[in-house]
A = this chain, B = another copy of it.
Amino acid sequence: MRNIFLVVSYIGTNYNGFQIQPNRVTVQGKLQEAIHMLTGETVKVEGSGRTDAGVHARGQTVTFRTESRIPIERWALALNARLPADIVVREAKEAPLDFHARRSAKRKTYRYTIENTRIPDVFYRHIRYHHPRPLNLKAMEEALPHFLGEHDFTSFCSKSSAKRSHVRTIYDIRLEREGPSDSADGRHGVLHLYVTGNGFLYHMVRIIAGTLIEIGEGKRLPSDIPRILAARDRLAAGPTAEAHGLMLWEVEYDSD
């Protein structure tokens, strides 16, 4: 028995999220189908976590067990030949049998991309949320440190969450600007929000992004964040930002 670890990219646009569901097209379902085509085996692919419908992944990670003897360096190309073009296996590695894509994960990073321009770049429309009105970038940046550390993120979690604890730790949160820094008109071009933590609740990054956008619009203040966290009430935070701006960026583990 072998335990195979994959790093997978996908465009989430045409999928009902990562997790397999009956009669729905899902990334997990497509991965299991490709493995079945390749090996004849019916495997259970375990992801580092779910991604919602329409959410993308640059570095989703999965593990699965197989009896197949296919050499490890052949898996990525062999699976890619059997996957739809919007799912790509970037890397395959042999893992110890006790390694698990979700349980062994130490840190996860999500990226939320806002295109703050008058006119959007059509070639990125599938992976950027277009926000044409000016944003106060300084105010958005001032809000970020309030998210750092361990907090109860109930206010930044969909009400439909079934998790027992809403306490999570944010290790790093930052806004990076892509391209030219001219903002004479109050618009800032492409902004990437990177959030790294030990785990994320349902809609958590999208609600953080939606709340930061309201701060950028002047509807809230950076100093409102501690109060929103303390409220432990979803209604205290801003709206859930659209799915297509979100990407599971990276999942980190203790060692190779």
Interface residues of A (CB under 8 A from B): 9-11, 56, 58, 76-77, 80, 85-91, 118-123, 125-127
A86 near B122: Cβ-Cβ < 8 Å: yes
The residue from B88, B119, B127 contacting A90, defined by CB atoms under 8 A apart: B119
The residue from B11, B119, B125 contacting A86, defined by CB atoms under 8 A apart: B125
What are 5 sample pairs from A and B whose C-beta atoms fall under 8 A apart?
Answer: A11-B122, A77-B119, A85-B122, A86-B122, A91-B119
B87 near A122: Cβ-Cβ < 8 Å: yes
CA distance in complex: A203, B80 (Å): 30
User: How far apart are A210's CB and chain B's nearest CB, in angstroms?
Assistant: 21
A10 near B88: Cβ-Cβ < 8 Å: no
A76 near B119: Cβ-Cβ < 8 Å: yes
- Residues of B within 8 Å of A76, CB to CB, are 119
- Across the two chains, which residue of chain B brings its CB closest to A90? B119
User: How far apart are A57's CB and chain B's nearest CB, in angstroms?
Assistant: 9
User: How far apart are A105's CB and chain B's nearest CB, in angstroms?
Assistant: 21
A127 near B123: Cβ-Cβ < 8 Å: yes
- Residues of B within 8 Å of A125, CB to CB, are 11, 85-86
- Residues of B within 8 Å of A91, CB to CB, are 119
B11 near A123: Cβ-Cβ < 8 Å: yes
- Across the two chains, which residue of chain B brings its CB closest to A127? B123
User: How far apart are A47's CB and chain B's nearest CB, in angstroms?
Assistant: 16
